Structure 1
Amino acid sequence: MALSGEERLAPGGADGRIFASPLARRLAKEGGLDLVAMKGSGPHGRIVERDVKAALAAGPRPVASGPLLEAPAGMSDAVVRQLFAPGSFSEIPHDSMRKAIARRMTEAVRSIPHFTLQTDCEIDALLRLREDYNSAAPLGADGKPEWKVSVNDIIVKAMALALQTVPDANVTFTQTAMLKHKSSDVGVAVSIPGGLVTPIVRNAETKSFRAIATELKDLARRARERKLKPNEYEGGSTAVSNLGMFGVKTFAAVINPPHATILAVGAGEERVVAKNGAPAVATIMSVTLSVDHRAVDGALGATLLAEFKRLIEHPAVMLA
């Protein structure tokens, strides 16, 4: 069967030999590069020095065990710039944060087999509880309430408790073993200038709404000031990304390694629903759970999401 233009066999003769110059072979050996995975630019496809140097500069490539089928490469910077008229754009060089985000998200999409699960949560009881909880806050010396819990703070608590109820989903996948976590360490996506960071609320299942709200407020402030310590944003087994405050109804988030799941939260909005066979108005919040299929299977992910929904719709049980 003929290969398409986006697929190619590794260069070589009919007897499997690789056509490469002696210098190219030496450089490849010194750099740990497999010539089978390369395409030569020399005469008749011969691999030459410049090919090896370019491959080494591009970073490590997988060792091939047979004919290599390559995915099509993305457009080069030069090609992209040619698509736009000169002077019609300005260039903003990537800072280290944007480079790190791009690298980690590319790694996540390429290496983690994602699947998503979605459900709708009725949050009228949650909104009432939040209002009562905040109204009970005493005034501080500055005359302001000592705490103000957000819907997102309650969502973090619900996700943490759901992982305790469904512990097989509170995991991290490694190549040799599954790491099953004892505590629920929940990351919360925080937008900052130039990108985002995900500080971790450790042992979130043991903390009150007030404690989570206070901790997240401090973490978010220091994240925007870029004063977080590595242990405050590394690790965790899940994360919450909430775009509801922007009016986003539903979306799916990319899993941030080493997490096995991430919960994408949309806006709460009044919708007409059926109750006892009659139409009624309820405040509904759509959530989407992205799952690493290597670590959590479909039924287990669905069980986790169902437990989260139960807690959100009966929030008083989280006060026990």
Structure 2
Amino acid sequence: MTQITTTPRNLTISPRIYKRLCRGELTQEQVNEFQNFLSEVDREFLQHRIITNNAYTRWFCNGTATDEELRNFIQQFSVFSNQFLIAALLKAINSPTLLQSRTSREILLNELGVIYRKSEQPISNNIAQTEEEKDREGDPELVSTEGTVDGGICRFRAAHFEWLIGIAEGLGLHYENIGKRKHGNPTTLHFCDELQRLYGSEDPQIAEGASFAVENWAAAGFWQELEDGFTRIKQTRYPHLHLAFFTWHNRVEAQHAGHTLEELEEVYFHTDFDQSKFFQGGREILEAIAVFWDGLNCDRLNQI
């Protein structure tokens, strides 16, 4: 399992690039230019304040949120989570290549309940776990953090939104109370709309930048802070709270970020790659992410 750290990782040249250099597919000058580009991506994206200093999740990890604050968080996060499906579908539709389309569909189909599995692994491995272990690590019948959806199976209970319903119900919310646009605050809906505009953009350069920024934001540590907060809340107040939605995402997002770096390595060396549009997509989606979290922070400071 991949352990997420709470600090952004530095972007460096991967072994894949060095292999292409050794095979003569790339020149040393091209590799040097790509390293400089990655350094700029690091400065522009990974050092963004919503990645390095998210005030809301830093507060949340203490586990002191009131019941009202918890319900507000789950409701707003559920809107983002459910509306993300639209952006993910747009990204798959607008992908410029078949390979990128498949990568996008991996994420979308897994969100909808198609279970990742390794190609050599049977669909069910029947690992014996306690209910507590299943909640923390994921029921092996429903989840996996590695592999592909290709050849997997779909189960309704494996849909991420159903996991979110599980934790919502532990806090007095139900299916009809979460996930719809009508439940979203203006700041949450702004983020959802920007995801569709940028992450799902018809312009592949804008979409590439937004996708790279989103996946690296997700892998940079906020899931760990949310898991830490919910774990403390479960230990002290809600012993039957189901945390699978947050524990699973905490463990899978680094895999998604790795995929975006591999994808970037492919598109960067194409003659039509537009760095300015790439950075535009990334910067604008990071600002939209900041609006979402700042909105939640304002809610708690103003007592919702």
TM-score range, shorter chain: under 0.3
Q: TM-score, normalised by structure 1?
A: 0.26
Relative to the length of structure 2, the TM-score reads 0.27
Structure number with larger C-alpha Rg: 1
Structure with greater contact order relative to length (CA < 8 Å, sep ≥ 6):
2
Q: Counting helix residues as a fraction of each chain, which structure ranks higher?
A: 2
